[in-house]
């Protein structure tokens, strides 16, 4: 993962920028900020540049207030990318995944290195480490930093960032992609006085009352089950979100409630945003839901967790899904 050539390029670099995908999640924020704190110790000038601000549920992650985001600080974010000698592309496999920031990223002349776990990496970086079998980019970042200098990993900030990404991308160590190494990293952190409980509480037990009400409404009023197909839908329109004084951020994790139900193996969550509908798919078992979104909905992702989008009305999308995906559902199960 860390060749002599990469090491030389990093050592030559004075200014390193860490980027991740739009709509950053725990793994995106955790991987970029862990790298930020690590290379800060090596006296590099460092910045984390993300397409959008860190979501509220991740506000406890160390350094979230240091992030330069392209959405609200476009000029500064563009300057960071222009000036960087080395740019890490973490937790994404394609330049389009940084949304509006794509042009500035592609124009940047610094050496680019991808560290990512999504399928089918695009060819836009000088160095690519792509391991779709690994459950989180944070786990790959741990391996990378360990090869670089393990003695600088075990700070409270870096452990918190890496653990956040591991926890959020593995459903708290439950998905099939968790391997011995995932637990070994947790073990090493515990050997360095790491407090795991507070992170679980900050991430999962910090709900606003309105979010809980929205979840109740969504399940009670908006759930559609197709039990003979083992598939379920949840959906929310912008108006419904607004009426609960919630934003898309507040719906993080809703899709998983469908999967917690008897007989459901594929969960689809549709959420209206600006002028399109964003969809999130999750599955248990041998489903390849990334193929559904790449075939029909301009999306992609992992075998069991993928996303895509559709321009049109909610009703039309659901009809489209039922008409086009349902008849060939079995082809995605193998
Ligand atoms: P989520 O449903 O949480 O937004 O995304 C689940 C997974 O699918 C993530 O790993 C994410 O990277 C991927 N994903 C989500 N939306 C898109 C999309 O529009 N295009 C692609 N290529 N991947 C997506
Ligand atoms: Mn990830």
Q: Name 191's Cβ contacts closer than 8 Å, sequence gap at least 6.
A: none
Cα(35) to centroid(ligand 1), Å: 22
Nearest ligand to the CA atom of 115: 2
> Ligand 1 centre and the CA of 97: distance in Å?
8
CA atoms of 22 and 244, how far apart (whole Å)? 24
Nearest bound ligand to the CA of residue 120: 1
Please list all protein residues whose beta carbon sits less than 5 angstroms from ligand 2, which is an ion.
Answer: 27, 91, 137, 169
For tokens 């890496």, name the residue: 162
220 Cα: distance to centroid of ligand 2 (angstroms)? 30
**Apex 281 CA angle, 130 and 169, nearest 5:** 45
Q: Whose CA is nearest to atom 16 of ligand 1?
A: 307
Question: In this structure, which residue's CA is closest to atom 3 in ligand 1?
Answer: 280
Pocket test for ligand 1, best of 270, 298, 307 (most atoms within 8 A of CB): 307
DSSP letters of 212-272?
HHHHHHHHHHH-EEEGGGTEEEEEE-HHHHHHTT--GGGGTTHHHHHHTSTT--EEEEEEE
pTM of the model: 0.89
Output the CA 243–ligand 2 centroid distance in Å. Answer: 31
Question: What was the pLDDT predicted at 216?
Answer: 98
Task: Tell me if 81 sits within 8 A of 17, measured CB to CB.
Answer: yes
Q: Is 305 in the pocket of ligand 1 (CB under 6 A)?
A: yes
The sign of the dihedral angle between the CA atoms of 101, 93, 130, 117 is positive
Contacting residues for 313 by C-beta, under 8 A, at least 6 apart: none
Least distant ligand from the CA of 279: 1
C-alpha 46 chain-centroid distance:
21
Task: Name which residue sits closest to atom 14 of ligand 1, judged by CA.
Answer: 307
> Does the beta carbon of 76 sit less than 6 angstroms from any atom of ligand 1?
no
CB of 62 sitting under 6 A from ligand 1: no
Nearest ligand 1 atom to alpha carbon 280: 2
| Nearest protein Cα to ligand 1, atom 6 | 306
pLDDT (0 to 100) of residue 145: 98
How far is ligand 1, taken at its centre, from the CA of residue 125, in Å? Answer: 20
Taking the CA of 27 as reference, the closest ligand is 2
H helix intervals, the chain: 4-12, 26-41, 74-83, 102-107, 137-149, 156-169, 180-190, 196-204, 209-222, 238-243, 254-259, 289-296, 314-324
Summarize pLDDT for 79-103 with one digit per residue, the tens.
999 999 999 999 999 999 999 999 9
Q: What is the dihedral of CA 219, 310, 227, 176, to 10 degrees?
A: -90
Contact 281, 305 (CB under 8 A): yes
Alpha carbons 68 and 53: distance in angstroms, whole number: 8
Q: How high is the pLDDT of residue 73?
A: 98
Query: Looking at ligand 1, which residue's alpha carbon is closest to its atom 10?
Result: 301
pLDDT given at position 100? 97
Q: Give residue 217's pLDDT.
A: 98
The low-confidence residues of the chain, meaning pLDDT below 50, are none
Looking at ligand 1, which residue's alpha carbon is closest to its atom 22? 300
308 CB near ligand 1 (under 6 Å) = yes
Whether residue 46 contacts residue 73, with contact meaning beta carbons closer than 8 Å, is answered with no
């Amino acid at each position: 993962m860390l060749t002599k050539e990469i090491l030389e390029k990093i050592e030559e670099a004075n200014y390193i920028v860490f980027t991740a995908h739009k709509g950053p999640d725990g793994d995106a924020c955790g991987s970029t900020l862990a790298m930020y704190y690590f290379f800060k110790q090596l006296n590099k000038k460092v910045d984390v540049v993300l397409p959008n601000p860190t979501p509220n549920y991740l506000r406890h992650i160390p350094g979230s207030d240091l992030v330069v985001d392209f959405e609200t600080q476009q000029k500064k974010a563009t300057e960071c990318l222009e000036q960087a000698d080395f740019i890490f592309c973490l937790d994404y496999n394609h330049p389009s995944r940084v949304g509006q920031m794509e042009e500035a990223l592609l124009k940047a002349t610094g050496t680019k290195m991808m560290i990512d776990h999504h399928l089918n990496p695009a060819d836009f970086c000088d160095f690519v480490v792509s391991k779709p079998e690994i459950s989180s980019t944070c786990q790959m970042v741990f391996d990378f930093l360990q090869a670089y200098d393990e003695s600088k990993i075990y700070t409270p900030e870096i452990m918190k960032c890496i653990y956040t990404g591991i926890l959020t991308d593995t459903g708290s160590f439950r998905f099939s992609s968790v391997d011995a190494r995932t637990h070994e990293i947790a073990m090493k952190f515990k050997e360095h006085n790491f407090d795991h409980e507070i992170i679980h509480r900050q991430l999962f037990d910090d709900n606003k009352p309105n979010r809980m009400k929205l979840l109740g409404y969504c399940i009670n009023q908006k759930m559609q089950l197709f039990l003979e197909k083992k598939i379920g839908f949840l959906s929310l329109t912008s108006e419904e979100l607004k009426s609960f004084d919630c934003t898309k951020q507040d719906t993080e994790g809703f899709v998983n409630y469908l999967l917690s139900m008897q007989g459901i193996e594929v969960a689809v969550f549709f959420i209206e945003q600006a002028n399109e509908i964003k969809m999130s798919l999750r599955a248990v078992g041998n489903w390849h839901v990334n193929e559904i979104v790449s075939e029909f909905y301009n999306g992609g992702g992992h075998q069991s967790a993928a996303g895509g989008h559709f321009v049109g009305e909610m009703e039309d999308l659901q009809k489209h899904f039922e008409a086009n995906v349902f008849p060939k559902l079995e082809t995605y199960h193998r």
